């Protein structure tokens, strides 16, 4: 029996998509556990050690959390906009997952005489796609805050909109340096070109700007003003409970993984090992884990920015630096003649 090549491509894409989504959801579940341990260690506590504990680590804790979350009461604020209130968490998770469509995970290999590419799609504007999808992610938060019809939710949503739009600019511009060096917008090409030397060597400033802006984009400390619990209860999530809350939570963690993966891909060679050693998905996972650990570490140690500081830093420090980085890159490339 021979299959139409279109059908094969379709099946391949569906399989890849399912694998990626399952992997991400599992990663999300266990990241919550990891985060609790990391924070516990920083704060000299023990952390969860009861549910299905093996060697003092509660391996079944995420499952217990999930069950608990699902069976909580699904609360509807009486004045909420029902439609928007419902679709907001969906948009948040949807946009978080969509970004993974262009992420190269592993070098292409032959399996049973059939060439498999370890990315769902090699869009030749991959980086722009990532930025576009990322810019849509704001909708989830904005609509969630607006739909709840609650002052705290609304304030949180407004803050996060302003914050994400402000830092998105620097985030995008920080990547431009890499694009100039690589001469391509395709993530696959960008990774391939880093097989020996990672981009971070040429783009240290871009790398730092990107990472700071990315932390702001995913609303993590020290940029977690949208949900600053001491001021806004829980920001845009205030009214959410049960599954819808879980979806927001999930979106947040997946976004963390996504920005880490982008940082790894754009600056640290993605699945490429240092100096071309054993390229493979393990490198990508390691790098993502490193970035996520740093974010958790920052959460455990850094205080929150004040809102005006956040804005000033974004527009008056990060943005000019990002522009300077592009300018310097262009100048060097012109002089060197690359």
Partner 1 sequence: MESIPFYFLAALAVLAALGVVVMRDPVYSALALAVVLTALAGLYVLLSAPFLAAAQVMIYAGAILILFVFVIMLLSPGREGDAPRGALKWQRPLAVIFGGALVAQLALVLLMTILPTGRGLYTPEYLAQIGSTQAVGAALFTDYLLPFEITSLLLLVAMVGVIVLAKKKS
Long-range CB pairs of 60-63, under 8 A, 24+ apart, other chains included: 61/33, 61/36, 62/29, 62/30, 62/32, 62/33, 63/29
Residue 142 in contact with partner 1, rule: CB under 8 A: yes
Smallest CA-to-CA distance from 122 within 101, 94, 98 is with 101
Nearest distance, CB of residue 157 and partner 1, angstroms: 7
Pick from 146, 207, 253, 267: which binds partner 1 (CB under 8 A)?
146
Residue 268 in contact with partner 1, rule: CB under 8 A: no
Residue 124 in contact with partner 1, rule: CB under 8 A: yes
Nearer to partner 1, 143 or 266 (CB): 143
Residues 68-87 as x/- pattern, contact with partner 1 by CB under 8 A? -------------x--x---
- Spatial separation of the C-alpha atoms in residues 53 and 31, rounded to whole Å: 16
> How many residues belong to the site for partner 1 (CB under 8 A)?
27
Smallest CA-to-CA distance from 283 within 260, 299, 312, 301 is with 260
Smallest CA-to-CA distance from 291 within 242, 253, 330 is with 253
Report the site for partner 1 in 170-189 (rule: CB under 8 A): 185
Nearest distance, CB of residue 194 and partner 1, angstroms: 20
Residue 158 in contact with partner 1, rule: CB under 8 A: yes
Contact segment (CB under 8 A) with partner 1 among 34-42, 58-66, 160-168, 193-201 equals 160-168
Residue 139 in contact with partner 1, rule: CB under 8 A: yes
Report the site for partner 1 in 20-39 (rule: CB under 8 A): none
Report the site for partner 1 in 88-107 (rule: CB under 8 A): none
Nearer to partner 1, 186 or 265 (CB): 186
Nearest distance, CB of residue 129 and partner 1, angstroms: 6
Pick from 129, 152, 245, 283: which binds partner 1 (CB under 8 A)?
129
Tokens 């000019």: give the residue: 320
- Spatial separation of the C-alpha atoms in residues 64 and 229, rounded to whole Å: 25
With H, G, I as helix, E, B as strand and everything else as coil, classify residue 206. Answer: helix
Nearest distance, CB of residue 154 and partner 1, angstroms: 7
- Spatial separation of the C-alpha atoms in residues 149 and 237, rounded to whole Å: 11
Task: Compute the C-alpha angle 264/265/271, nearest 5°.
Answer: 90
Contact segment (CB under 8 A) with partner 1 among 132-140, 216-224, 249-257, 290-298 equals 132-140
Residue 162 in contact with partner 1, rule: CB under 8 A: yes
Residues 191-210 as x/- pattern, contact with partner 1 by CB under 8 A? --------------------
- Spatial separation of the C-alpha atoms in residues 327 and 270, rounded to whole Å: 25
- Spatial separation of the C-alpha atoms in residues 64 and 338, rounded to whole Å: 55
- Residue 222: is the preceding peptide bond cis (ω within 30°)? yes
User: Angle of helix 242-267 relative to helix 126-147, nearest 10 degrees?
Assistant: 160
Distances (CA, A) of 218 to 151, 158, 164, 278: 22, 15, 8, 31
Contact segment (CB under 8 A) with partner 1 among 72-80, 141-149, 223-231, 237-245 equals 141-149
Nearest distance, CB of residue 98 and partner 1, angstroms: 11
Residue 216 in contact with partner 1, rule: CB under 8 A: no
Q: Contact positions toward partner 1, by CB under 8 A?
A: 81, 84, 123-125, 128-129, 131-136, 138-139, 142-143, 145-146, 154, 157-158, 161-162, 165, 168, 185
């Amino acid at each position: 029996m021979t299959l139409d090549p279109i059908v094969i491509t379709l099946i391949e894409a569906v399989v890849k998509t399912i694998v990626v989504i399952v992997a991400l959801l599992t990663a999300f579940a266990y990241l919550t556990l990891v985060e609790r341990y990391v924070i516990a260690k920083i704060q000299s506590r023990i952390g969860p050690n009861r549910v299905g504990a093996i060697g003092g680590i509660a391996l079944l804790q995420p499952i217990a959390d999930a069950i608990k979350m699902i069976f909580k009461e699904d609360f509807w604020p009486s004045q909420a906009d029902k439609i928007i209130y419902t679709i907001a968490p969906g948009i948040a998770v949807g946009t978080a997952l969509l970004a993974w469509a262009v992420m190269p995970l592993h070098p292409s290999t032959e399996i049973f005489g059939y060439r498999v590419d370890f990315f769902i799609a090699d869009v030749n504007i991959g980086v722009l796609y990532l930025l576009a999808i990322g810019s849509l992610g704001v909708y989830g938060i904005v609509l969630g805050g607006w739909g709840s019809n609650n002052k705290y939710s609304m304030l949180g949503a407004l803050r996060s909109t302003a914050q994400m739009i402000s830092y998105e600019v620097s985030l995008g511009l920080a990547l431009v340096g890499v694009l100039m060096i690589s001469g391509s917008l395709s993530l696959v090409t960008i990774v391939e070109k880093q097989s020996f030397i990672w981009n971070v060597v040429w783009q240290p400033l871009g790398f730092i700007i990107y990472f700071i802006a990315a932390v702001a984009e995913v609303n993590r400390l020290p940029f977690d003003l949208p949900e600053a619990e001491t001021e806004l209860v829980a920001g845009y999530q205030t009214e959410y409970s049960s599954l819808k809350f879980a979806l927001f939570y999930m979106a947040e963690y997946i976004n963390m993984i996504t920005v880490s993966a982008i940082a790894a891909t754009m600056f640290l060679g993605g699945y490429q090992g240092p100096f071309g050693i054993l390229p493979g998905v393990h490198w990508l996972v390691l790098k993502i884990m490193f970035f996520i650990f740093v974010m958790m570490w920052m959460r455990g140690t850094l205080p929150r920015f004040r809102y005006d500081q956040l804005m000033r830093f974004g527009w008056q420090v990060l943005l000019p630096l990002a522009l300077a980085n592009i300018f310097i890159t262009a100048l060097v490339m012109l002089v060197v003649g690359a």
